[in-house]
Amino acid sequence: MKIHNNIESLKTSATLAINELSKELIEEGKEVFKFGLGQSPFPVPKVIVDELKKNSHQKDYLNVSGLLGLREEVARYHSNKNQYNYDSENVIIGPGSKELIFQIQMALDCDLLLPSPSWVSYEPQAQIINKKIHWINATAESNWHLNPEDLDKVCENLKSVNKLLILNSPNNPSGTIHGNLEDFARIARKHNIIIIADEIYAELDFTGEYKSLTHFYPENTIISSGLSKWCGAGGWRLGTLTFPKELSYIKDSIRTIASETFTSVSAPIQYAAIKAYSEDHSEFLEHSRLILKTIAEYIHKELSSVGIKCQKPQGGFYMICDFSNISNIASKINDDKILCQKILNEVGFAMLPGSDFGLKADKFLTRIAFVD
C-alpha cells in the first residue's frame, strides 16, 4: 500500500524529534544540553493538580465542544483579556492547540499565509491537507515582526483567494511580540483575512501586559490557547479555540470534525482545567515571567559576548541566534541543519535549525529554547 503523497515527504515534528534524539544520547551516556524542545520548566499549579486528583473518577464522554463549566470559564477569561464579549457556545476544547489549529486548516477552503519564521507545525499541517502556503518574510532588523505592508502586498496578488493567517505572539521561534496591531487590523479588514491568533504564550509576555490582535480586529480573529505553556501542563493535552460570533460557522465545522476524530478531551483533565481559568494565578505567573526573563537576558548576554547575534526575547521560551558572524562558517558548513548537527555531536548542545521555521538554510539561523 502506498503512503499518500501529501504525507510521504513529511518527518516527525522537529521539536519532538530533537527531544527524542537528546534523550537517546543521554541514555547512551553523553552529556546533552537540551535547548531544543520548548517545554515549561514550571510545575502545574497545585490547585489544578488537586482538582485533577479529585476528578480522577470522571469517566464519561463529555460534550464534543467541551465541558460546559470549562467553556464558560474560558469564555469569561478571554472576554476579560481580549476585550470582546465571547460566549461559551463559541468555545471548543480540544486535545492540545496543535490539533485544533490543524482542524481549522482542514475546515477552511483557503490559502495559508505564514510569516517567516513561524512555528514548525503550521506548514506541515497545511501540507498534509494540500493547502497552498504563502510565506511572508520577516527580518532581524524588524525584530522578526511581520510587516503589515508586506502582508498587504501579498494579499493584493491573492484578491480572489480566501486567506487564513496564523499570527503567533509572543512568537515561537523568536520570542518577540508583534507590534503594529492596528495596522495589521486595517490590512486584515481590507482583505477580509481570517486570523488565528496563537496566544499560547500570551501569559508569558515578560511585561505581563500582553496586547491581543482581538483588541483591534475581533470579528475575524480566532483565539488559540491552552494549558501547555503558562500552566506547565503540556502533557495534559488541553487546548482551546475561542470564536467571535461572526465566525460561529467555523466553530460548527470544527465541532463536526471533532465528533468524527477525537470525540472529546479526557474528562478528568477538563474538570481540573476549570481551576486553571477560574482561580487567580497572578503570583505564579509573575514568578514564572521573572524567571524566564532573567534566563533569557543571561543567555542573550552570554551568546552575544562570543559573537552570536541574538534578538532579546520579550516573552515565551525562545530566541533566534545568528551564527553567520562566526569566522569562515560558510566555507566549512553548507546549511543550518549541518550546523546544528555538528554542534550537537561536538559540544552536546541541542537546538533547531532556522529552516525548520521557514527561514533560509544558508543564513545559519537557529532557534534555542532556554527552558529545559
Angle at CA of residue 49, ends 47 and 55, nearest 5°: 105
What cell numbers appear for 167 in the block?
499570527
- At 79 the pLDDT is 98
Q: Name the helix (H) or strand (E) containing 245.
A: none
What cell numbers appear for 180 in the block?
503594529
- At 60 the pLDDT is 98
Question: Using N-to-C axis directions, what is the helix angle for 248-259 and 97-107, rounded to 10°?
Answer: 110
Q: How far apart are CA 272 and CA 275, in angstroms?
A: 6
Sorted by where each begins, the domain ranges of the chain are: 5-43+282-369, 60-278
CATH no. for 60-278 = 3.40.640.10
Q: How far apart are CA 224 and CA 81, in angstroms?
A: 13
- At 255 the pLDDT is 98
- At 232 the pLDDT is 96
Contacts of 272 (CB under 8 A, 6+ apart): 48, 49, 51, 52, 55
In the chain, the amino acid numbered 234 is G
Exposed, middle or buried by CB within 10 Å (0-12, 13-18, 19+), for 316?
buried
Strands 318-322 and 365-369: antiparallel
Q: How many CB atoms lie within 10 A of CB 16?
A: 13
Contact 102, 125 (CB under 8 A): yes
Sign of dihedral through CA atoms 223, 227, 230, 234? negative
What cell numbers appear for 151 in the block?
502582508
**How far, in Å, are 52, 179, 181, 199, 314 from residue 210 at the CA level?**
29, 11, 12, 10, 10
Give per-residue pLDDT as tens, 298-311: 999 999 999 999 98
Strands 111-116 and 163-168: parallel
Contact 322, 140 (CB under 8 A): yes
- At 327 the pLDDT is 65
Domain 5-43+282-369 belongs to what architecture? Alpha-Beta Complex (3.90)
Contact 366, 352 (CB under 8 A): yes
Q: How far apart are CA 42 and CA 329, in angstroms?
A: 36
Q: How far apart are CA 39 and CA 60, in angstroms?
A: 30
Query: Digits of tens for pLDDT over the chain (372 positions)?
Result: 989 999 988 888 888 888 888 889 899 999 999 999 889 999 999 999 999 999 999 999 999 999 999 999 999 999 999 999 999 999 999 999 999 999 999 999 999 999 999 999 999 999 999 999 999 999 999 999 999 999 999 999 998 889 999 999 999 999 999 989 999 999 999 999 999 999 999 999 999 999 999 999 999 999 999 999 999 999 999 999 999 999 999 999 999 999 999 999 999 999 999 999 999 999 999 999 999 999 999 999 999 999 999 989 999 999 999 998 876 776 678 889 999 988 998 899 999 999 999 999 999 999 999 997
- At 11 the pLDDT is 85
Q: How far apart are CA 340 and CA 361, in angstroms?
A: 11
